[in-house]
Amino acid sequence: MSFHQNKYDRQLRLWEAAGQSKIENASCCLLYVNNVGCECLKNLILPGIGKICILDDRLVDKSVDAPNFFLDEEDHNKSKVECLAENLSRLNPDVCIESKKANPLDIISSDIDFFHSFNVVILADMLPKIQLIKLTNYLWNKQIAFLQLRSIGFNGSIRVCLPDCTILQTQNDASLDLRLNMPWAELKEYSKQLFERESKDRHGDIPFVAILVHGCSQLETGNKGNPSSQRKDILRNWIKTQMLYADEENFEEALSNCWRPFQSTNISSALKTIFDDINCQNLNEQSSSFWIIMNAICKFVECYHCIPVSGILPDMKAGSSEFVSLQRVYQQKAKEDALKVKNYVQKNLKLLSRPIDSITDDEIFQFCKNASQARYIKYRKIEEELNSPLLTDLASDNESLVPWYFAFRCFDIYKERYNSSPDASLTSSIHKYEEIACEFMKSLGQSPTQSVCNACREISRSAGAEIHSVSAFIGAIAAQEAIKFLTRQYIPLNNTCLVDAAHARTESFSF
Amino acid sequence: MALSHLRKLLNNPGPFADAYDPEEATKAIQTTKILVVGAGGLGCEILVNLACLGFESIDVVDMDTIDLTNLNRQFLFRKKDVGQPKAQIAAEAIQRRMPNCRVTPIVSKVQDIPMDQLYTYGLVICGLDSVEARRWVNATLVSMVDDDDPQSLKALIDGGCEGFRGQARVILPTITSCYECSLDMLPSKKTYPICTIANKPRLLEHCVEWAYVLQWQAEQGEKDPSSEQIPFNPELPEHMDWLVRTASERAKEFNIPGVITHSSAQGIVKNIIPSVASTNAIIAAACCTEAFKLVTGCNPILDNYMMYTGDQGVYTYSFSLEKQKDCPVCGIEAVLLPVCGNEPLSAVVNRLKEKYRLSNPSLSLTPNSSSTPTRPLYYAAPPSLEASTRSNLSISMRELCQQCRSLTVTDTQLPVSMKVVLRWE
């Protein structure tokens, strides 16, 4: 194995070469240097992200800054971004790390196109509302991922905003669809062959799939019109009569999988969401291959009332040649279905005046194989959330961490208004924070509860200071979300995770 | 000083903390000696967090050396450090950047740390990948607890992770559920039925398993039946080359599609667990936050188990794992017995008899690890064993069991065996 394969071996086992390649071709920009931002970067650099740019105009101030493993005593009074870039670069020579000495507020005001080439932008501090909306709307329109991190004392949050979050490999397959309710001709024929073999000593080698398919074929004519529960019982009895001896494992497997021929192939709600989406229905020049292929699969479903066969077969008690041949039957069917989908894809490409080979056969086969896992996750824009966060009924759940969300919103308002963090050691500060809390809750049509007050009191303990391990926790979660987005594998957070390290708890919300 | 930026936090108790003294809290951070067990994926993260949290006295123990495959997450190590001891390089890396924090490396198994040294730590944080080592640390700390000596109670914070999942827990030995209490939560290792491996492979994994479990031995025997068998070693390139070749031939023979790579084969043989920087960072951070709260008292501590999964969104679940009454480790209170090197075994037997109202106790040395057998000292029954161990009664304790940590005592009066921790005087 190459040096590269060896170094990244443990993570390649999670997202494979395709995922790794996406990470290595990605670039990320961090706004503001603090513990939580640094920790997030560290967890992107170690797995090998392509490029990082760090944006901040401040100098290192060891008397005020939290202890930071990547900024030491020697860096005092020097540029934060330059020192950080140098120290972080030692973590992984594969990563290109740049620094830009500038105030993020200035960049957002007068040079927002600076962000246009990044895949991910991470904000490690708060921005005034106007600038936050301007930045996030820009990123949304450019389809750039945005993450906002907060870390104050024992609390914090991660807010994720991913435009066009389409994922094929969510690694989340509920149950393998073996299509035993609609066996095709080759599958029936193969199953029949296995049963008509003369040698009984290979009886135990027949895979349960063949047992079920053949059983259903045999009982078909007699069963017409019977309700499925009755047919299932009849099948079960038939299987038992076929067993040569008790505990014949492959027949036991057939019995425990007896439900499969009677399970209708429903299209999952996740797939329905994808098919119904306007991106799928109305293809245009900007459509990504995800939507073009999903549109084709949608047409396949309309025609055949099921998704393409995936071709994946789980291991089962069977002889080698029986299993391998059965696998071939499935893979052949998968290929045939994929070719039908390819037809639709090519028609789509023609209509969009795109070259026929702009979507490869391999890509189409991958889609057909993994279609049951696919997800399209719709995020709310930051602007929408700021103006009207989606709040479930608060009063009912005492355990919920929602009060912290309110406390953070008020924290941001406080900072924007007074240019400092709420500080529990100053009574004037406490009063101002409480005032804002009342204002804010009133704007939502509520009054501050005890939980909200407690949250505000807890957050103001540190007067804005970070606890390193809490920042490390939050930064790492954020980095992981960025990686899930970049690799287009696994399922990202939608859209906020609130962290309460005082009680070792987190809770996720879609605000 | 690392803690000065948290002065305000410590001075303002907040709504969730029990009363504590901010001065004492600060002093405790600066003076508490911590043992970090493991300097790998979790260990590196734990060390940095502890140093940045203001802890000034840390020992880190790890017997392993650095491997290339560590570099994607064990960020205190560089390419040039491959082959060096993890504990040593980690300690040096922290020292260089945070000179106020004294980190002492211990390059050995944690089981080799002497009891009196263990006693000096205020807190133990484990970032191990070995169940056996965890059980040892857990059992040792539980056995150390002496109700009359508050210092003998060392909190154990344990973290573990795999892929996008992990857990962190806080164990207060003899008070909360211990590691042994919840052993049944561990997943069992994946095994393949032998008939599938031997005769009816269907998947590439079956072929790999066949090659290194069955065929390696068979071929060795064929080549030279007389000489000693060389065990299969996945670290040797020649062995791995043979494995990939042999397993691939078998796959071809049975028409199993797909390709066996070195990477996939190694994964099966070494039972490799996928690991990424972010999950290690998350779990380690959770452990260190608990350490900070434990030592300062500035917020409640985790009671007592937090699970984390990150493959579908972000999800954590914290709950209180129950202490098992019949736990072999913490189910019975730890018993401390002072012993003098000079005194004969019979004196110890008599003291135990008197103090615990025993009728006729049998004593053996408690093994240090699961691989060491129990050593009998004196067996009261059956008669044949009694006869053979009787002579030990007159031998001095020092001669019989120098350096040993504990005895196992059984007696008709005891429902289960009792572990007695020896305090040598």
Instruction: Tell me the per-residue pLDDT of B218-241, one tens digit each, with 9 for 90 and over.
Output: 888 887 777 778 889 998 999 999
Residues B104 and B206 in one domain: no
Residues B283 and B251 in one domain: no
Predicted confidence (pLDDT) at residue B325 exceeds the cutoff of 90: no
Residues B246 and B380 in one domain: no
CA distance, residue A510 to nearest chain B CA (Å): 11
Is residue B327 domain-resident?
Answer: no
Q: With bands split at pLDDT 50, 70 and 90, how would you rate the model's confidence at B357?
A: low
Residues B265 and B311 in one domain: no
- Judge contact between A262 and A231, C-beta under 8 A: yes
A491/B306 touch (CB, cutoff 8 Å), yes or no: no
B2/A172 touch (CB, cutoff 8 Å), yes or no: no
> B348: part of which helix (H) or strand (E)?
helix B345-356
- Judge contact between B374 and B367, C-beta under 8 A: yes
Residues found in chain A: 511
Which value does ipTM take for this structure?
A: 0.94
A505/B286 touch (CB, cutoff 8 Å), yes or no: no
* Residue A222 contacts B, CB cutoff 8 Å: no
A236 Cβ neighbours under 8 A, 6+ residues apart: A255, A258
What is the model's pLDDT at position B186? 76
**Domain boundary pick from B290, B319, B348:** B319
A506/B78 touch (CB, cutoff 8 Å), yes or no: no
Q: Which residues span the domain enclosing B23?
A: 4-187+274-319
Is residue B328 domain-resident?
Answer: no
Cross-chain CB nearest to B75 (options A64, A91, A493): A91
According to DSSP, residue B363 is labeled: E
Is residue B216 domain-resident?
Answer: yes
- CATH for A3-163+466-509? 3.40.50.720
Predicted confidence (pLDDT) at residue B371 exceeds the cutoff of 70: no
A472/B314 touch (CB, cutoff 8 Å), yes or no: no
Low-confidence ranges of chain A (pLDDT < 70): 173-175, 392-397
A10/B275 touch (CB, cutoff 8 Å), yes or no: yes
Residues B226 and B166 in one domain: no
Q: Where are the beta strands (DSSP E) in B315-424?
A: 315-319, 335-339, 362-365, 375-378, 406-410, 418-424
C-alpha B250/C-alpha B206 separation (Å) is 10
C-alpha B308/C-alpha A478 separation (Å) is 14
Q: Residue range B180-192: average pLDDT?
A: 77
What is the model's pLDDT at position A97? 98
Residues B72 and B122 in one domain: yes
Q: Which structure tokens are listed for B213?
A: 């479990």
Q: Tell me if residue B195 is catalytic.
A: yes
Q: Residue range B336-353: average pLDDT?
A: 89
Cβ-based neighbour number of residue B246 at 10 Å: 19
Least confident of A75-79, A264-268, B110-114, B206-210: A264-268
Residues B257 and B279 in one domain: no
Q: Residue A91, class by beta-carbon neighbours within 10 Å (0-12 exposed, 13-18 middle, 19+ buried)?
A: buried
Is residue B72 domain-resident?
Answer: yes
- Judge contact between A439 and A121, C-beta under 8 A: no
**Domain boundary pick from B233, B253, B269:** B269
Residue from B177, B205, B181 nearest B193 by CA: B205
Q: With bands split at pLDDT 50, 70 and 90, how would you rate the model's confidence at B416?
A: low
Q: With bands split at pLDDT 50, 70 and 90, how would you rate the model's confidence at B367?
A: confident
What is the model's pLDDT at position B415? 53
Main-chain dihedrals φ then ψ at residue A101, nearest 5 degrees: -80, 95
What is the model's pLDDT at position B262? 92
What is the model's pLDDT at position B297? 94
What is the model's pLDDT at position B413? 61
What is the model's pLDDT at position B117? 95
> A6: part of which helix (H) or strand (E)?
helix A3-7
A325, closest residue in chain B (CA to CA): B255
- B interface test, pick of A9, A152, A170, A250 with most B CB neighbours within 10 Å: A9
What is the model's pLDDT at position A263? 87
Q: Number of folded domains in chain B?
A: 3
Residue from A26, A124, A24, A38 nearest A85 by CA: A38
Is residue B324 domain-resident?
Answer: no
What is the model's pLDDT at position B333? 53
Residues B152 and B217 in one domain: no
Is residue B325 domain-resident?
Answer: no
Predicted confidence (pLDDT) at residue B329 exceeds the cutoff of 80: no
Is residue B329 domain-resident?
Answer: no
- Judge contact between B110 and B136, C-beta under 8 A: yes
* Residue B191 contacts A, CB cutoff 8 Å: no
Residues B147 and B89 in one domain: yes
A472/B284 touch (CB, cutoff 8 Å), yes or no: yes
Residues B104 and B159 in one domain: yes
Q: Residue range B120-134: average pLDDT?
A: 92
Main-chain dihedrals φ then ψ at residue A50, nearest 5 degrees: -65, -55
Give the ranges where A170-245 is alpha helix by DSSP (H): 185-195, 208-223, 228-242
Residues found in chain B: 425
Residue ranges per domain, chain A? 3-163+466-509, 180-262, 266-377, 386-462
B305, closest residue in chain A (CA to CA): A504
Cross-chain CB nearest to A10 (options B69, B200, B291): B69
Q: With bands split at pLDDT 50, 70 and 90, how would you rate the model's confidence at B358?
A: confident
Predicted confidence (pLDDT) at residue B64 exceeds the cutoff of 60: yes
Residues B389 and B359 in one domain: yes
Query: Which chain A residues in 304-323 lie under 8 Å from chain B, judged by CB atoms?
Result: 315-316, 318-321, 323
Helices (H) and strands (E) in chain B, counts: 15, 13
Catalytic residue among B44, B52, B195, B298: B195
Residues B224 and B300 in one domain: no
pLDDT tens for each residue of B75-84: 999 999 999 9
Whether the bond into B344 is cis, omega within 30 of 0: no
What is the model's pLDDT at position B193? 87
Residue B415's domain is classified under what CATH number? 3.10.290.20
* Residue A403 contacts B, CB cutoff 8 Å: no
